[in-house]
Amino acid sequence: MSATSSPMFGKRSESVRSAVFAGEWYPGDSTVLTQTIDELLADGTQNTTDDKPIAIIVPHAGYRYSAPVAATAFRALQEHVYDRVVGLAFNHRLASTYAGVVADCDHSAYRTPLGDVPVDINACRSLIGVDALHAAPGIADGEHSLELQLPFLQRVIGSFSLVPLYVGQLTHQGQARAAAAISTIVDNRTLLLVSTDFTHYGPRFGFKPFLDDIENRLNEYANQAADVIGRVDYDGFVSYIDRTQDTICGRHAVALLLRLLSMRGGAACIRTGVDTSGRLTGGYHNSVTYQSFVFTPRKFALSEAERKQLLDLARLSAQSHLSGRGQPSIDQAALPDALRERGACFVTLKNRGSLRGCIGHITANDALFDSVMHNAVSACNDYRFANARITESELVNEIDIEISHITPMEPVDRVENIVVGRHGLYIAGRGRRGVLLPQVASERGWTREEFLIQICRKAGIAEDAWCEKDTKLFRFEAQVFGE
């Protein structure tokens, strides 16, 4: 698919996309629209968070139906600053007929009754070329899924640029490639936004998996979807869709967001709102479920100052070793309590992104600071690089240090409890053992199954040995930080 020829989309020139659904799905008068949104934002009774969101999922029906639920997520954006919003939407008319992610590069701005939102054309075009990402004029025509979110964004964050992406069908590999590409334009002043409604129930939507106790069954579906989304579990969400065939219209966009967040080390998530059109209208013959979610950075035990102190100790220890001065002397009493407590860690050394050493322990036998210092020295002597050991000059001028602070291991009773992006794995079987840190799977965009295969390969055992009765499989988390 290309920007100049496509069986689905016609050739276009850059223009401002008009507010197609203003006055129909939401107020077309700017004063009324402002008042409507401000009242919704002020009516805060749902869960929220004080942490700065990195992503949200919001519904997109007409405002009378879904706006109260959407407002619970938008409310969490207030008082925070964003320069760019990456919108992961989709085209209802064409969702089943196009693959990959289509960037709308033919509009210079999206117009609402509150003004124009400029499109970040350079960011859009920078994504084109990855095989999972395309440009196709006309992708936004007659589509409401992104337009309805813009007035909320204009009220809560003010000025921002928009990267409008419309998500079609993607393979696991396509999800990973698209997520990796989009991640290149994401920083701490970028918001990721997924626009989707959830279960579409009834004959109008061709989905009637149950005929009795409809209200409670719809709530069960909503809660099952919310459970895997709340764990930022890409594999769990895809499995849920395959198992239930739930008619979540933006399911590919949700999966892409979960994939992207998992490849960036995961996130914390809360559901801020949930409702159904059936409850609002008093009838469940046809009903649509609306849910909102807010994602924030994961919280860890070590503070920013403590992380920096550990990185400094790792570098000091490695450099002292490579210069022949031995282990440096440290005033332990001056260290924070968190660094003097027992802790497990890995120290990784990279030269411009290429691995040059990684050594560590998954059990806490020594003080954390001591483990960091000893593992930094050991990483300099990683046996895998015995023929090209790190020199002091390379360490000083080219090496970046990364530390993974490991939580205690937990046995895995069900592989479904492994969340890529959150968990690392340790395996022991057939007399062999192996360990893979969480970021190894995250950075490579592995699925859960690929992660299990790779941990077996790391241990030097059969790829399916993880499912053998005598194999012991453990999971752990890690606070990963680097220079």
Residue 8 pLDDT grade (very low, low, confident, very high; cuts 50, 70, 90): very low
Can you give the pLDDT at residue 249? 95
- Mean pLDDT value across the chain: 93
Give the model's pLDDT for residue 452: 97
pLDDT tens, residue by residue, 402-457: 999 999 999 999 999 999 999 999 999 999 999 999 999 999 999 999 999 999 99
- Of 57 and 129, more confident: 57
Name which CATH class applies to 15-296: alpha beta
Average pLDDT rounded to a whole number, residues 318-323: 96
- Given a contact cutoff of 8 angstroms between Cβ atoms, the answer to whether 194 and 257 are in contact is yes
Chain centroid to Cα 208, Å, comes to 31
Query: What confidence tens digit (pLDDT) does each residue in 103-118 have?
Result: 999 899 999 999 999 9
For residues 2-7, average pLDDT = 36
Q: Which amino acid is at 441?
A: A
Distance CA 31, CA 209 (A): 43
Give the integer Cα–Cα distance in Å for 376 and 48: 40
pLDDT of residue 11: 46
User: Residue 4's pLDDT is what?
Assistant: 33
Does 3.40.50.620 match the CATH number of domain 304-406? no
pLDDT value, residue 231: 96
Taking 60 as the threshold, does the pLDDT of residue 6 lie above it? no
Beta strands in 122-202 (DSSP E): 133-135, 161-167, 190-195, 200-201
| Residues 6 or more apart in contact with residue 34 via CB below 8 angstroms | 114, 155
Q: What average pLDDT does this structure show over 197-206? A: 97
Return phi, psi of residue 179, to 5°: -60, -40
The distance from CA 214 to its chain's CA centroid, rounded to whole angstroms, is 32
Q: What is the pTM of this model?
A: 0.89
279 pLDDT higher than 50: yes
Please list the residue range(s) of the chain that carry CATH number 3.30.700.20: 304-406
Is the pLDDT assigned to residue 339 strictly greater than 70? yes
Q: Which residues in the chain are classed under CATH 3.40.830.10?
A: 15-296
Each residue's pLDDT tens digit, 345-361: 999 999 998 999 999 99
Residue range(s) of every CATH 3.30.1490.150 domain in the chain: 410-482
Which of these, 350, 333, 400, 401, lies nearest to 373 by C-alpha position?
A: 401
Sorting pLDDT into bands at 50, 70 and 90, what band is 190?
A: very high
Q: What are phi and psi of 450, to 5 degrees?
A: -65, -35
Name the token pair of 385: 């690089």
pLDDT at 5: 34
**pLDDT score of 260 more than 60:** yes
pLDDT number for residue 42: 92
Of the two residues 93 and 21, the one the predictor is more confident about is 21
pLDDT digits (tens, 9 = 90+) for 168-181: 999 999 999 999 99
pLDDT for position 47: 62
In CATH terms, the fold of domain 410-482 is Dna Ligase; domain 1 (3.30.1490)
The confidence band for 14, taking pLDDT boundaries of 50, 70 and 90, is low
